[in-house]
Structure formats: structure tokens, C-alpha cells
Structure 1
């Protein structure tokens, strides 16, 4: 009888332990299937709706709320800004209005509160010098860290970096290295040395890949699109470049060599979103010759599509051929990306429409900053 009772106790205990393990396993959150990279560039000091009569868009409070909802759902998120965001362009010697300084403070506090992972310092961001930026960082501290970076801005006298040169971020088990570049112009303060972008990029890629063990390398390039494209042609190992300077909307990413380039346009009307589908793919083994053949074929198809586009309007009979070429172009483009990139992705420029929900605390900051500005 004792043996029967002991056996029953053992079985009951084993059953309870199994149930606890199952419950613990069920409670364990599922690993993220995607890595979301949200990006902005060229905000030019804009903090609220653009005032466009047809479709008002934009605002740091809307952007913060949009990203916050994904974070609350347990998604893996990285947030980046490529620069030229604190101030708009002013001619040399033009005094910066107090209202625009207040807008910069709102952007700094908002960036800290929404946990922006890295903010590249662009030329326009230095309109009041680097001391003002360091003051912004201090003022934002109660809300989080304003992570200002630049890999090629150096103190001319001390020959040392003014800001952190890179940021390593880990999300969903992926190590992502981020570095930033700034263009050299006459607007750069005289006490700042701008290191050559190509040499800086080579150094940063090597450090992030070999020393930091990063799976992905992202460049925040305040160089404009054309200069950014020239640079990645010369420097391999950069997976993604977010462009600022000479703002424009890239409705589709541009692929140059093995690098994807993106840009969300001026004023913060759109929030860039690159959704990387996990897991990452193995390093690509396609030869340069194979990639060159695909690029040549894609260029031919793009030229044919552009040529027929005008003819279709004149003669509908060309429509079938035009649609056929468009499909073939997309097929070749997809194959090229499959062979050249380390990841599959979805890409959107998200319109921050006026009816989207807002972060209420940031909205208060925006209203307070705009009220005196409107009365001036």
C-alpha cells in the first residue's frame, strides 16, 4: 500500500512540474521575426504639422507615438536620424531666432524621450556651434540620452572626436553598428576639422566589423544622395545608408554595390521604415561579374520602360509591352537584391497625417514652443 501511495505522490509531483514547465514555456515571449529600422533626416527644425493646405503632415509627437506602439507590442526597433534636423538653413551671419532655438530643444527632448538610438550631427545642426549641441544634450538628460554621434568631426586644436564616433546596438540578437559622416562646407565652424569621409568610412567599417563583431553596419551620411552613392561604391561592408543633406524623398531604396540607400525627405512629414525580415541571410557569394550583369540588365529594362512610358499615353497598343517590361524589371531588381543584400526587407515612407495619435507630453512641448513663435 505504501508503495502505491508513494508512486501516486511521485506521479502527481511529476505532473505538477511538467505543467509548470509548460506554463513557463507558454509565458516566454516569442522572438521577434522582424527588425524595424525607423529613420528621419532633414527635419530642418520642424516640430509639428507642415501647414500644407491639401494634406497637413508631420510632427515629432506623432512620430513618437507611432514607434511607441510597435515597441509596446514587443517588436525589435532601432531609431536613427541622419542629421540636419535641429535647424533650417540660414545664410552665414544670420541670427538664429529664439523660437528656432526652442524648436531645437523640443527635438532634443523628444529624441531622448522616444529613445532615439543615434543622431548624426549634420552641418545645419551646428548652426550655433557644438557647445549649443552639448547644452541640448544636458537639457534632454531628464528624459533620456540624446545620443549625438559623428565619426569625422574633430576638435581642430585637440585632434580628437567631438562626439561619440559610433554606436553599437543589439536588438533581437543582431549586433548593429552605426557611424555618421558630415560633409565639409564653408558653414562648418572654424574650430572643427572634418576628416575625409572615405578614409573615415573604411576605418569605421573595419572597427565595427572586426573589433565590435557587428552583423550589420549602418551609415548616417550627411553628404547628400549622389556623394553617398559615390562613397559606397568605394567602401564595401556597409549594409545600409540613411542619407541627409540635399533632402529628397526616396520612395524606393537605391541599391549601389551591396549597399541599400534610403532617405525620407525634408520636414519630418514622412517617417522612414525599413523592416528587415529575420533571420539574416548568410553572406552573399555572388561574384562581381554576376552582379554587374544583373545591373546592366536592370539598366536596360529601366531605359526601355522609361521610353515606352510616354508612348503608352499616345498609343494604348503599347500598354501590354510596357506592363511586360515593368514586370521583368521588378523581377531582375528583386534578383539583384537577393544576391547583393544580406537581408530581405519591406520599405515604406509612412505619412504622419494629422489624424494620427500623438504622444501627449511631447505635444505639450510642441504647443508651448509654437505659441510664442506665432506671436512674434
Structure 2
């Protein structure tokens, strides 16, 4: 019998406060197993998140150093690596990596894989057992195209490679930044795959999940858990047993000076982002449930950047005030969201419906996780180029016409169908990438200064 240990992380999202303990644990486990058993270590994407100052300041490269130090075997990319970095940022992200980057459905515009990407890799244990490992990332095709990449449909790409990988392997492992529903579908349709290590939907499977004969494993989000899959093979290299467990990070042994290490990550990022953007002569105050000069300023900046007739955004995007000397770190601190500007064309009648939905007070109080939002409550909506008077709507001083076409700028999170159920999910959208809302705020502040 031979035993193989696979440790896996996913969706860390730059929550480096948990990293010292995770790193210590992974190094200890590798040392414990290495004399008798084989150890492989995989990350399944979204390790980085640009809310963290060190991630923002280094465009994620500091995270690659952390993965190198833990001797990761391979990673796949998540959407935070793929579409929250500009093209050059992703192109350079893994320049110093000592591990493989597996992403079978990511291509350059010439339909060739980037030099730093492999669709799959075959790993061998000391006894010669072969692990075929494939990587796939979430299918945000249009957004990747806007950043200069080609992304293919993941299951089609899997069909292309699975036979060749199976022929070269004693077991097949998929690194899937696709989400639980797709993982379950893949397990049912591709019995050749022995283990799927999952991510993206932040699901955690305490003891894994068997779909037919495929074992699914996933470790939640933010480094709250570390996953461990154990595979036992007989002398003919046939799998006899496979088990998945999760380790709760808060129950792992504390690392020496772990709080100070995590704080040092933050401090280093703050120092790197200490460049002054502007100096304010009066403070900008924020309140998620009041229309403030600050929220109106950002909304106006959004409309001007996108060259639209009107704009709307939620005041909860601003997490704090600005005053005096404003630095790059200050902008990140009060607007940490990886949210891009977006433009839609709507009729006056459709715009009326959108504005009516935006005034729902229950929507303002809604607590949001995901979709790039890094705050708490959504907050009320503020508008630019839109005025309400005696029950009527005016666009740039002219009464709204129901059949006229208007251009509306708004944060991209509102176009995905989670908030505005009627019009927006079905409209054509123009997304502006790689600019985040804080980039628009910075641009407006600099032009004002």
C-alpha cells in the first residue's frame, strides 16, 4: 500500500491574518509525512484579493512569495487573479513562482497558453505513481476578453484533455475554481476524475462528498479551514481508499508572533501605498444612509468617466471619510471593492423602473457578501444627472421621456441580477476594466486638485 497526502487551500482572499498559522501547519505536516508518504499541496484560486494593502501594493506578487515558502506543488487561478488584475499584472504575477500554474481554459489572444500556464501536469511519486492534475477557472469569458485574454468554456476544455491525462496517469485530480454545482456536474459526467478540489462558491465539505466514485473536497473561504485528502493505493497502483477532512484553522496550534506577523503584512502594504494623491481643504464625510457631498462626488466622477447622461451608485461603497493629505492607502481603505464601472442603455420607462427599485429601503439595509463588495450594508442610492421633482423624473434638467434611450453608469455589481430583478440583468452592458471605483475616485480627486 502507498499513501498520498494532498493538502489544499482555496479562496484565501488575502486574509493573511490566518496565514502564519496555516503556513506553520502545512510545513509541519509535510515534515511529518515526507519520510514515509508523498505530499502534494495545491491552491484552488482567489488566493489574492486587492482589498489587502500588501496585495494592492505588489499587485499580488507578495502572495506568490508566501506560496513559494510553503512549497506549493501547483495552483489554479481564480477570478480575483484573472479579472481583478490588469493584463500585465496577471502576466507578471507568477514570474517568481516555484510551483506550476494550471489553467487549461486560459489563453492569450493568439489562442496559445501563456508561457507561465500549463493545462495539466503529471506528477510522480518516488515509487512511480502518476498524478494527472488539471486546472480550470471560472467562465467569465467577456471580462477576460476586455482584459486581453481568451477564456474557453471549462467543460469543453476538460473534454479536450481528459483522455490524454487519464492515459498518462494512475489517478486524475481536478483543481476547479468553478463552484460546487459545476463540480457535481463534472463528477457525474467525467468518471475518469478521482478527486475534485473545489473553490469559487466558498463551500466547505467537512468530510468531502462522493458523487458516484469521484471525491469532492473544498475548504470554504478566508483560510478558515485547510483541506486534506488521503489516497491509498495498492501494489498495482489502484486506488483502494480516499478520504477528505478539514482542519479548522482556529483549532490549529498558534504560530509564534502570528498577530504581529499579520500586522506586519498590513504595515508593509500601508508604507508602499503612502504616495499622496491630493490634499483636501475640507473633509469628505461618508454615511451609507445619507446623501453626502462625498457620495455625490463619486457618483459625478462615475458619470464623467463613463461619458453617460446619468449615473447611480450606493452610498455604502464609501467605508469612511477623507480629510487632509489623501494617500493611495486612504483610497484603498475607504473603497476596497474590486468593482468596475459599467454602462447600460435603457429606455426612459426602463430607467424609471430601475430608479423605483433603487428606492426600496429594504434594499438599502441589505448586508452584502460577494460580487466584489467589501463593505457591510448596501446603503441608499445617490444619483447624478437625475432629479426628482413633484413625482416626476428629470434627466439633466429635461423631463424623462419613456421611449427615449438613456445611458446610465453604475457599479458592475448591480448588473448581475442579484438586486435589480427586472430590467438590468437582461440589458447589454459595457464594462470598464481594469479600473476600479477607487481609480475613478482618484482620477476625480486629482483633476479637482
> TM-score if structure 2 supplies the norm length?
0.53
How far apart, in 1, do the equivalents of 2:53 and 2:154 lie? 32
Q: Report if aligned partners of 2:209, 2:215 keep a CA contact under 8 Å in 1.
A: yes
SS at match of 1:45: coil
Q: 1:113 Cα shift?
A: 2.2
Map of 1:159 onto structure 2: 111
Higher strand share: 2
Higher helix share: 1
The answer on 1:65 being equivalent to 2:27 is: yes
How far apart, in 2, do the equivalents of 1:274 and 1:170 lie? 17
Gaps of 5+ in 1: 1-31, 50-56, 91-95, 284-341
Judged with a 3 Å threshold, the aligned counterparts in structure 2 of structure 1 residues 234 and 164 are, in CA distance, closer, same or farther, namely same
How far apart, in 2, do the equivalents of 1:107 and 1:280 lie? 39
Q: 1:371 aligns with which of 262, 267, 285?
A: 267
Cα deviations across residues 283-338 of structure 1 (Å, max 9, x unaligned)?
6xxxxxxxxxxxxxxxxxxxxxxxxxxxxxxxxxxxxxxxxxxxxxxxxxxxxxxx
Judged with a 3 Å threshold, the aligned counterparts in structure 2 of structure 1 residues 111 and 174 are, in CA distance, closer, same or farther, namely same
Judged with a 3 Å threshold, the aligned counterparts in structure 2 of structure 1 residues 103 and 357 are, in CA distance, closer, same or farther, namely farther
The answer on 1:170 being equivalent to 2:66 is: no
Judged with a 3 Å threshold, the aligned counterparts in structure 2 of structure 1 residues 72 and 262 are, in CA distance, closer, same or farther, namely closer
Map residues 1-376 of structure 1 onto 2, 5 A cutoff: 33-49=2-18, 59-87=21-49, 99-102=55-58, 104-126=60-82, 127-140=84-97, 145-156=98-109, 158-162=110-114, 163-171=117-125, 172-185=127-140, 186-190=142-146, 191-210=148-167, 213-279=168-234, 342-353=239-250, 356=253, 358=255, 366-373=262-269
Q: 1:343 Cα shift?
A: 3.2
Q: Report if aligned partners of 1:47, 1:107 keep a CA contact under 8 Å in 2.
A: no
How far apart, in 1, do the equivalents of 2:231 and 2:80 lie? 30
How far apart, in 2, do the equivalents of 1:280 and 1:270 lie? 33
SS at match of 1:266: coil
Q: Report if aligned partners of 1:228, 1:243 keep a CA contact under 8 Å in 2.
A: yes
RMSD over aligned Cα atoms: 3.1
Cα deviations across residues 64-87 of structure 1 (Å, max 9, x unaligned)?
433333245443101111112112
Q: 1:261 Cα shift?
A: 0.9
Judged with a 3 Å threshold, the aligned counterparts in structure 2 of structure 1 residues 369 and 184 are, in CA distance, closer, same or farther, namely same
Q: Report if aligned partners of 2:44, 2:75 keep a CA contact under 8 Å in 1.
A: yes
SS at match of 1:242: strand
Count of matched residue positions in the alignment of Structure 1 and Structure 2: 266
Judged with a 3 Å threshold, the aligned counterparts in structure 2 of structure 1 residues 221 and 280 are, in CA distance, closer, same or farther, namely farther
Runs of 4+ in 1 over 6 A off after TM superposition: 280-283, 362-365
Judged with a 3 Å threshold, the aligned counterparts in structure 2 of structure 1 residues 70 and 187 are, in CA distance, closer, same or farther, namely farther
How far apart, in 1, do the equivalents of 2:152 and 2:90 lie? 20
Judged with a 3 Å threshold, the aligned counterparts in structure 2 of structure 1 residues 280 and 118 are, in CA distance, closer, same or farther, namely farther
Q: Report if aligned partners of 1:232, 1:257 keep a CA contact under 8 Å in 2.
A: yes
How far apart, in 2, do the equivalents of 1:76 and 1:63 lie? 16
Judged with a 3 Å threshold, the aligned counterparts in structure 2 of structure 1 residues 208 and 148 are, in CA distance, closer, same or farther, namely same
How far apart, in 2, do the equivalents of 1:101 and 1:71 lie? 36
Judged with a 3 Å threshold, the aligned counterparts in structure 2 of structure 1 residues 232 and 68 are, in CA distance, closer, same or farther, namely closer
Judged with a 3 Å threshold, the aligned counterparts in structure 2 of structure 1 residues 358 and 170 are, in CA distance, closer, same or farther, namely farther
Map of 1:338 onto structure 2: none
Q: Report if aligned partners of 2:208, 2:216 keep a CA contact under 8 Å in 1.
A: yes
Q: Report if aligned partners of 2:4, 2:39 keep a CA contact under 8 Å in 1.
A: yes
Q: 1:97 Cα shift?
A: 5.1
Q: 1:247 Cα shift?
A: 0.5
Q: Report if aligned partners of 1:129, 1:189 keep a CA contact under 8 Å in 2.
A: no
Q: 1:365 Cα shift?
A: 7.0
Judged with a 3 Å threshold, the aligned counterparts in structure 2 of structure 1 residues 345 and 232 are, in CA distance, closer, same or farther, namely closer
Q: 1:130 Cα shift?
A: 4.8
Q: Report if aligned partners of 1:177, 1:216 keep a CA contact under 8 Å in 2.
A: yes
Q: 1:37 Cα shift?
A: 0.6
Gaps of 5+ in 2: 272-328, 330-449
Map of 1:26 onto structure 2: none
